[in-house]
Amino acid sequence: MKNIIKIAWRNLLRYTRRTLLTSSLIALGVALVIVFGGVGNSFRSEVTGILTNSNLGDLQIHKKGYLGSMDNLPLDLAIPEKGLAAIRGILDANPDVLAYSERIRFGAMVSNFAQTTGIRLTAVAPEKESRVCPALPGRIKQGDADPAAFVKPGSVVLPLTIAAGLNLKVGDDVVLVATNKEGSVNGITFKLSGVSENIMGPQGKDGYIHLDDARSLLRIEDGEITEIAVKLRDFKRLGKVYPALKKTIAALPGAKGEAGSEVKPGKGGFETHSWEELSPFSSIARIVALLILVVRLVLVFIVLVSILNVMMMSVYERIGEIGTIASIGTPPSKILALFLVEGLSLGLFSGLLGCLAGAGILLLLQAVKLKFTFGAMDLMLAPAVPLAEMLLSLTVVVIISTLASLQPALKASRMEPVEALRHV
Amino acid sequence: MIELKDSVTRINMPLVKLENAGKNYITGEISTPALKEINLSIEAGKFISFVGPSGSGKTTLLNLIGCLDRPTSGRVFVAGAEVSAMDRKTSAKFRGENIGFIFQNFNLIPVLTVYENVEYPLIMVQNVQPEERRRRVTEMLDKVGMAEQAHKYPAQLSGGQKQRVAVARALAPRPRLVLADEPTANLDHATAYKVIGLMHAMKKEFDTTFIFATHDQKIVGEAELIYTIEDGLITETRENAAAGGKK
């Protein structure tokens, strides 16, 4: 085998220019896949991080049917106190759960006494909310951004667009008017304690008030809430934790439904959703993954055509030589191996070259820290070198190179020596 | 070293034997006879020449003996084995172990050095152990006077030097039979004589049978047995008493 490898490499170096041109093309393709993969993954994880750390959490639990009516923020699909206690028990016992935050989400009107506009509000306990969404206090650009008390009783945090639209400054009074689930309207005056920047997604332009204020405004006397946002200790374990938790939560019996009837045990009264099901960004993330796949397919095509072309030329140019080695007695299997190793070596060399180039470009991007705005979010791309992507690209290139060499190699190994020797 | 089938005995068997061997080349619907019903027996250890005009069938006969081609009729035996009945894999193995080839255009592998070219059949065909391989390559390069050029590539050699390397490569695996097709056609007069002398010396030293297909009177004069081939038939067989060792 050592001798076969030696001859294969020398044959590659024999046509230096052709080998380098082909290698460069394949290396470019590999580098493109790695850079695209690295940047794509960095973009995906950056946006995912912002969304999950700013407002979504990693998972959310609602009363069954809530997600379907989420745009209306229905108060009648709330998690009752009894169900909440059961869910708390499950979450407290789960070692993968770092924290969870209970929320009441509802629609309201906000007025600066001269103008009124609609607003979506999330009522939270700030300390719990900051553990689930650690980036949330950082989004409060004006006013109090203390993670433990970014929204105090009697105060409200408004999104930048509404604060600017109503010409409000931190410290100004506003009135929030809301309708509760029985249909009664109530209004309370709040002090604007902070202005938050917008991010994409359904909860990206919500205002925040304290959970106790929401109960007063909506006249909720028991402890019911509409949503529980959950933060995991390790986001990478979402794929494992989510299905298990979903199953456990779904097995809980629902408390009183809207018709006042008890949901039977085992039928499930609550539903769990991962951030992907709650954010439109998951579609973008899927598109990014699809684009990476397309680039990968283009790479496969580049490698296939390049190696096939080079190896076909190599066989046609060396027919006489093939005749010589065959007449000397080289077994057909070794002639086959000779050309396969040649194609494989070319692929391996080009793949490694591409990996190095791709890693180099990504390291450069990492050092530069590319900043840009995406859907009102300021992103900073610092793509990591995706080792798994590199390994995958290299493997794909080597396999495709070998496959592309197979036909020319078979042709060479099946040549009749006497025919090949006649070829000059 | 020579692989013989169990059923075949070496005793009283000529090294090469052709029984009514014929070869037709078919192009479209036209069948052109290149060899017609050849019967031939060649004993081991001879220096033999096939002579005849171009297209007479010399190379075709050499190809049949070298199991590079199969006859369309008749049978061909080499070292007791029926090579005309072998499949591609078996005939490749048989060639590697029993037959050496010397070509008109030298046919050295351009990416290998002189040393590596001679070593090639020992590694790729015979799997000879490294120490024995080194010994044999060095010995052969010494004998053909190419030891000092061992590190050079074929492109750096003259025609005569290339053919000496080809002789060394053909003989390094210790074949019983060497087939040479116009080995001096691309060499000048003096170099051709040197190469013929070298092959003669090798024949004596290793008791190898040499069969040439040639127009070259220099080789013809060195042959012990001369077969004249015309239109695919052996028309004359003559012994050359004066053969051997002229330079």
B92 and A331 within 8 Å at the Cβ level: the answer is: yes
Of the partner residues A14, A327, A328, the one whose CB lies closest to the CB of residue B111: A14
> Binning pLDDT at 50, 70 and 90, where does residue A268 land?
low
Do residues A373 and A296 touch, judged by C-beta distance below 8 A? Answer: no
Q: State residue A264's pLDDT score.
A: 52
DSSP state of A262: B
Closest residue in B to A12 (Cα) is B111
Of the partner residues A13, A328, A417, the one whose CB lies closest to the CB of residue B121: A328
A331 and B63 within 8 Å at the Cβ level: the answer is: no
Closest residue in A to B106 (Cα) is A324
Determine, yes or no, domain membership for B3.
no
> Which phi and psi angles does B117 have, rounded to 5°?
-65, -40
Q: State residue A316's pLDDT score.
A: 87
Answer yes or no: is pLDDT of A231 > 60: yes
**What number is the ipTM of this complex?**
0.85
Answer yes or no: is pLDDT of A399 > 70: yes
Q: Parallel, antiparallel, or unpaired: how do β-strands B225-230 and B47-51 relate?
A: parallel
> Binning pLDDT at 50, 70 and 90, where does residue A320 land?
confident
What is the pLDDT averaged over residues A227-236?
93
CATH assignment of the domain containing B126: 3.40.50.300
> Which phi and psi angles does B99 have, rounded to 5°?
-125, 135
Q: pLDDT tens, A295-312? A: 888 888 888 888 888 888
The amino acid present at A98, given as its one-letter code, is: L
Look at the block and give the residue holding tokens 């060649």. Answer: B42
User: Domain range for residue B234?
Assistant: 46-56+87-239
According to DSSP, the residues that pair with A178 across neighbouring strands are A186
Of A1, A14, A19, which Cα lies nearest the Cα of A341? A1
Look at the block and give the residue holding tokens 């002398």. Answer: B197
A324 and B169 within 8 Å at the Cβ level: the answer is: no
The amino acid present at B229, given as its one-letter code, is: I
| Residue of A328, A415, A416 best to disrupt the B interface, most CBs of B under 10 A | A328
Taking CA atoms, B1 is separated from B5, B47, B96, B126, in Å, by 13, 21, 10, 10
DSSP state of A255: -
Chain A contacts of B63, Cβ < 8 Å? 418
> Which of A103-107, A160-164, B90-94, B212-216 has the weakest average pLDDT?
B212-216
Q: What is the DSSP string of B196-226?
A: HHHHHHHHHHHT-EEEEEE--HHHHHH-SEE
Of the partner residues B101, B110, B112, the one whose CB lies closest to the CB of residue A327: B101
Starting at the edge strand found earlier in the chain, the sheet holding B233-239 runs B99-102, B177-181, B209-214, B47-51, B225-230, B233-239
Determine, yes or no, domain membership for B15.
no
Q: Name the CA dihedral angle for B177, A329, B230, A423, rounded to a multiple of 10 degrees.
A: -150
A330 and B125 within 8 Å at the Cβ level: the answer is: yes
B97 and A325 within 8 Å at the Cβ level: the answer is: no
* Residue A14: partners with Cβ closer than 8 Å, 6 or more residues away: B110, B111
Closest residue in A to B112 (Cα) is A7
Residue A238: alpha-carbon gap to chain centroid: 12
Look at the block and give the residue holding tokens 């939560």. Answer: A249
Domain count across chain B: 1
Q: Which helix (H) or strand (E) holds A271?
A: strand A270-274
Closest residue in B to A335 (Cα) is B124
Q: pLDDT per position in chain B (247 positions), as tens?
A: 444 444 344 455 788 999 988 888 888 888 888 888 888 988 888 889 998 888 888 889 999 999 888 899 999 999 888 988 888 889 999 999 899 998 888 889 888 899 999 999 998 888 889 999 999 999 989 888 889 999 999 999 988 899 889 989 998 888 989 998 888 877 777 777 877 887 788 788 878 899 988 887 777 777 888 999 888 888 888 887 776 544 4
Tokens of A204: 């990206």
How far does A51 lie from chain B, in Å, by closest CA? 60
Chain A contacts of B62, Cβ < 8 Å? none
A329 and B112 within 8 Å at the Cβ level: the answer is: no
Q: State residue A174's pLDDT score.
A: 93
Cα three-residue angle B27-B29-B33, rounded to 5 degrees: 60
Chain A contacts of B67, Cβ < 8 Å? none
| Residue of A327, A419, A424 best to disrupt the B interface, most CBs of B under 10 A | A327
Of A124, A131, A130, A184, which Cα lies nearest the Cα of A155? A124
Answer yes or no: is pLDDT of A203 > 70: no
| Residue of B68, B97, B186 best to disrupt the A interface, most CBs of A under 10 A | B68
* Number of neighbouring beta carbons within 10 Å of residue A82: 17
How far does A32 lie from chain B, in Å, by closest CA? 34
DSSP state of A225: B
CA separation for the pair A48, A322 (Å, rounded)? 57
CA separation for the pair B119, B112 (Å, rounded)? 10
Furthest C-alpha separation in chain B:
54
B101 and A331 within 8 Å at the Cβ level: the answer is: no
Q: How many CB pairs under 8 A join A and B?
A: 73
CA separation for the pair B119, B130 (Å, rounded)? 10
How far does A360 lie from chain B, in Å, by closest CA? 34
Chain B contacts of A424, Cβ < 8 Å? 105
Of the partner residues A328, A333, A416, the one whose CB lies closest to the CB of residue B101: A328
Exposed, middle or buried, A6 (CB in 10 Å: 0-12/13-18/19+)? middle
Q: Using only the alpha carbons of chain A, give its radius of gyration.
A: 31
Of B34, B65, B35, which Cα lies nearest the Cα of B48? B65
Chain A contacts of B97, Cβ < 8 Å? 329
Tokens of A163: 């604060």
Tokens of A237: 């374990």
Cα distance between the two ends of chain A: 28
Q: State residue A341's pLDDT score.
A: 92
Of A198, A188, A178, which Cα lies nearest the Cα of A119? A178
Q: State residue B1's pLDDT score.
A: 42
Tokens of A164: 């600017």
Ramachandran area for residue B73 (φ above 0: left; ψ -120 to 50: alpha; else beta): beta
Determine, yes or no, domain membership for B247.
no
Look at the block and give the residue holding tokens 């699909």. Answer: A77
| Residue of A324, A336, A339 best to disrupt the B interface, most CBs of B under 10 A | A324
> Binning pLDDT at 50, 70 and 90, where does residue A263 land?
very low
Determine, yes or no, domain membership for B245.
no
Question: In chain A, what are the domain boundaries?
Answer: 2-50+283-422, 65-234
Determine, yes or no, domain membership for B10.
no
Determine, yes or no, domain membership for B39.
no
Residue B222: alpha-carbon gap to chain centroid: 16
CA separation for the pair A93, A246 (Å, rounded)? 15
Q: Where are the beta strands (DSSP E) in B52-110?
A: 73-78, 81-82, 99-102
How far does A409 lie from chain B, in Å, by closest CA? 16
* Number of neighbouring beta carbons within 10 Å of residue A219: 12
Closest residue in A to B63 (Cα) is A418
Of the partner residues B69, B111, B125, the one whose CB lies closest to the CB of residue A328: B125
